[in-house]
Structure 1
Amino acid sequence: MTFTNRFKLSAMMFLEFFIWGGWFVTLGTYLKSLNATDFQNGVAYATQSWGAIIAPFIVGLIADKYFSAQKVLGVLHLIGSALLWYATTITNFEGFYPVILAYMIVYMPTLALVNSVAFKQMKDPSKEFPPIRVLGTIGWIVAGVTIGWLGWEKSNQLVLTFKMAGTASLLLGLLSFTLPDTPPAKKGQKTTFGDIIGLDSIGLLKNKSYLTFFLASVAICVPLAFYYNFTNRFLNEVGMTAAAGKQSLGQMSEFLFMVLMPLFFVRLGVKKMLALGMVAWVIRYIFFAYGNADTNYYMLIAGIVLHGICYDFFFVTGQIYTDNLAGERFKSAAQGFITLATYGVGMLIGSYISGPIVDHWKTGADSHNWQAIWLVPAGIAAAVLLLFLIFFRDKKHVETQPGVNAEDAEIVL
């Protein structure tokens, strides 16, 4: 890969996640200025799930068949830039919601498109992709640190986050048209509904352990929705300064544990990795329930930092587990199917559940009984963990040493 292409792809990844992190983290706090209820807060965050559900159709029916991926990426980000700027002119939730829904429908497909553009230029993605993808994590961190450094939460100027993200979206839209050509991969081929949502991989669910993992993945997204939807609002309510900047510690932790994951795999294997990820979810919400901005401030920070274990140990491990189990023929379909089920269906359910629960424990115009609220996702995560430990048994036929039953051999990736 040439230096020019590497630089462009790195800039693409940085801007892609800078845009998302630039407004999504503080959305719940911003919605207070629109007099949105907690239920409406959950509904607004559910637009991410609707975007994830619709995204495969945009990519599968348009980018894969008719137009180059970088051109579709450019058009979507230019439309997204206009929508983000328009959102800043709206002063009520009723007008804001359809705009942000439209934005997420055009943004979520770009997550797959940036990967397609990057992979097309690589001879060895396993070595070349991580150094480029990590720029996305850095972009998300920079967005959060910028918001905290400029004090937009404290000064009630979060409307500027949409203008910042809209400007970055404009830059990425223009940059996209200069990216290396990525022609449609399935031009002239017939694409079915099953192809688009990954139904070819549904046979994996016949494996009882994978079915357990699949259902656990969907269920664990319910407490995940609580974290994404209400953490920034919670931290600001309890008095944490520059909360968005502090939340970027979660992405720093995610980066660190991503680097260390190969070492953990060798020593722990799949089941223990997945289980530890879910244990971290329970601990995180207990820390949030009993943390505060005074004597137990460390609990708030620890809850944020645990994001690295929560995400990497469960979701990244799950992606690797799925990849191994699916085999070469169904890898892409399996990854698409699990993504649709988690970030689509699971997060959608979580968003619609979390809002009413937070609303139920409202104690004033700008206050909630956060201890009661956070114990709910802690309980859900604990229940999912318990069922997972009971029913998941990571087995497959492998060659073993004499005297060892192949069916009893555990996969250790």
Structure 2
Amino acid sequence: MTNAATTAQLSQDGGPKIRLGIMMFLQYAVWGVWLPVLAIYLRASVDEGGLGFSGADVGWILGVAAASGAITAPFIAGQIADRFMNAEIALGILLLIGGLLNIGLAYVTDFVPFMLLSVGYSVCYMPTIALTNSICFANLSDPENAFPRVRVWGTIGWIVASTLFGLLYLQSNISLTWMPWFFEGTPKPDATTLIANSLIVSGVISMAYGVYAMLCLPRTRPTRSSKHPLAFLEAFGLLKYRGVLVLTLAALLISMIHNVYFVRTGPWLESIGFAKSEVGAVMSVGQIVEIFVLAVLGWFLKGLGFRLVITIGAIAYFLRFADFAWATSGPKELAFIGIALHGFCFAFFFAAAFIFIDRAAPKEARHSAQTAFGIAILGLGPILSGFFNGWLDQVGAATSLDARSEALKELGGLAVSWRSALEGMGVPLSEDGISYPAIWWTLAIVGALTALIVVVAFTDDSDKSSAAD
């Protein structure tokens, strides 16, 4: 029996789907257990049990590290794995190495080694996203219909990991309750320090997942493609088409503020009254909504078209951050509205953008186009967010010099002018703490400008670009 026949037969009996669903669950549990809460630990002072890093430091760690992984992923996943070894073996090796690096991160307290280890971890983890997708497509008989049902288990894995770590590990005297999130308890006094252990939990899950990948996943042999390692660079030629160019520029702006969301939201939620143990559960509301929005995305694309759907996605970013600004001085429950908008932000902008790129590219260049677009928004975007997040420290600095750190005693001219403009618009600045409304309204305005760019300049010319030689 041929490999294709074997795969088809197994797909019909559901064997691979169960194993692939477990794979996706673990893939995103590894990520979700630490990303929503790590910024709290990194930004908290040493006296509070954190590392005392600045906003710029955290932006560089979460931005540049992610960018490093995104940029190297095509070479690792697209070349080494595709040419020299089974995809499930490459996946397992990367997960084992990445798990060890993540465990090591929990014991590092200085910025430079933390940054370097984060880059190393990202270089191991980011290629696994492409590898898991490739394993799915190679082992599902009807990937177009079956893949979404398998991929949703990744979102569920993120929700479970991010929720349970905080509720079960950062609390004591835990009891069940009928109210979501079904667990309540007393926040541990050393919860900030304990957040570092999310990296250890992630590392252990990663290593167990790596063993599972090598032993249990369907055998996915290398294609040994003869394509040049830099073949995907040819896809940048699609930028000569207006639709692709405008969408890429808009995606860079959205990618920048999207990355800041994960850097700033955790510490902000704590500042408005949520316990550290609740942050992961609260932020997972966005992933829950994402499941339902992705389910109807195709209907919206058919009914409204790419321009309006992507514009709505950018507007959702504006509304999310505007809601955060209002929630800073209002009831903390308002934050749930902005977080729930994550589902619309991700699905209507990023998912729709990737679908458009797939449609805009010639059939033989679709993989290269996705790779090139991914490098732009997951590589360049996070790097820009590192600079931007450092500047936001100045925008949100306290008005009292005594309340500022040494690095923020003197603000740059652009930050001073922008703070004055925000005050003129009625945005309050805090005297002795972080001026979160100033930060959130800055991000909201970027979202609004992006929506304006898309609705004015974007055009669906995918019929021309996809027919190009």
Query: So what's the TM-score if we normalise by structure 2?
Result: 0.80
From 37, 40, 45, give the equivalent of 2:57: 40
Q: Which residue of 1 aligns with 2:373?
A: 338
CA distance in 2 between partners of 1:41 and 1:221 (Å) = 16
Contact 2:320 2:338 in 1 (8 A): yes
Task: Determine whether 1:24 maps to 2:35.
Answer: yes
Question: Any idea what the Cα deviations from partners look like across 1:287-333, whole Å, max 9, x if unmatched?
Answer: 111213x7432431111000011110011111111111213111111
Contact 2:76 2:127 in 1 (8 A): yes
Unaligned 5+ runs, structure 1? 399-413
From 73, 98, 101, give the equivalent of 1:55: 73
Q: Which residue of 2 aligns with 1:126?
A: 144
Question: Any idea what the Cα deviations from partners look like across 1:24-56, whole Å, max 9, x if unmatched?
Answer: 121211112112111111111121111111111
Q: Which residue of 1 aligns with 2:218?
A: 180
From 223, 228, 251, give the equivalent of 2:257: 223
CA distance in 1 between partners of 2:156 and 2:382 (Å) = 24
Q: Which residue of 2 aligns with 1:407?
A: none
Q: Which residue of 2 aligns with 1:264?
A: 300
Q: Which residue of 1 aligns with 2:425?
A: none
Q: Which residue of 2 aligns with 1:311?
A: 346
Q: Which has the larger radius of gyration?
A: 2
Comparing 87-96 and 328-337, the one that deviates more: 87-96
Contact 2:314 2:448 in 1 (8 A): yes
Q: Which residue of 1 aligns with 2:424?
A: none
CA distance in 2 between partners of 1:396 and 1:261 (Å) = 19
Number of aligned residue pairs: give it: 393
From 441, 447, 462, give the equivalent of 1:381: 447
Name the CA shift for 1:191/1:376 in 2 (closer, same or farther; >3 Å). Answer: same
2:17 maps to amino acid: R
CA distance in 1 between partners of 2:151 and 2:73 (Å) = 20
1:73 maps to amino acid: L
Contact 1:71 1:176 in 2 (8 A): yes
CA distance in 2 between partners of 1:396 and 1:52 (Å) = 25
Q: Which residue of 1 aligns with 2:199?
A: 162
2:219 maps to amino acid: D
RMSD, aligned CA: 1.9
Comparing 367-376 and 295-304, the one that deviates more: 295-304
2:148 maps to amino acid: P
Query: So what's the TM-score if we normalise by structure 1?
Result: 0.90
Contact 1:229 1:351 in 2 (8 A): no
From 20, 25, 28, give the equivalent of 1:14: 25
CA distance in 1 between partners of 2:155 and 2:116 (Å) = 28
1:90 partner SS? coil
Task: Determine whether 1:203 maps to 2:214.
Answer: no
Name the CA shift for 1:371/1:349 in 2 (closer, same or farther; >3 Å). Answer: same
CA distance in 1 between partners of 2:462 and 2:283 (Å) = 39
Q: Which residue of 2 aligns with 1:370?
A: 436
From 356, 361, 382, give the equivalent of 1:347: 382
Q: Which residue of 2 aligns with 1:103?
A: 121
CA distance in 1 between partners of 2:363 and 2:156 (Å) = 31
1:6 maps to amino acid: K
Name the CA shift for 1:4/1:91 in 2 (closer, same or farther; >3 Å). Answer: same
How much has 1:347 moved relative to structure 2? 2.0
How much has 1:356 moved relative to structure 2? 3.1
Question: Any idea what the Cα deviations from partners look like across 1:202-251, whole Å, max 9, x if unmatched?
Answer: 23222212211121111221211211211111111222230111100000
Name the CA shift for 1:335/1:361 in 2 (closer, same or farther; >3 Å). Answer: same
Q: Map 1:81-92 onto structure 2 (within 5 A).
A: 81-92=99-110
How much has 1:147 moved relative to structure 2? 2.4
CA distance in 1 between partners of 2:157 and 2:206 (Å) = 13
Contact 1:14 1:139 in 2 (8 A): yes
CA distance in 1 between partners of 2:114 and 2:244 (Å) = 40
Contact 1:237 1:367 in 2 (8 A): no
Contact 1:35 1:93 in 2 (8 A): no
Question: Any idea what the Cα deviations from partners look like across 1:78-99, whole Å, max 9, x if unmatched?
Answer: 1111111111222333332211
How much has 1:262 moved relative to structure 2? 2.2
How much has 1:190 moved relative to structure 2? 4.6
1:385 maps to amino acid: A
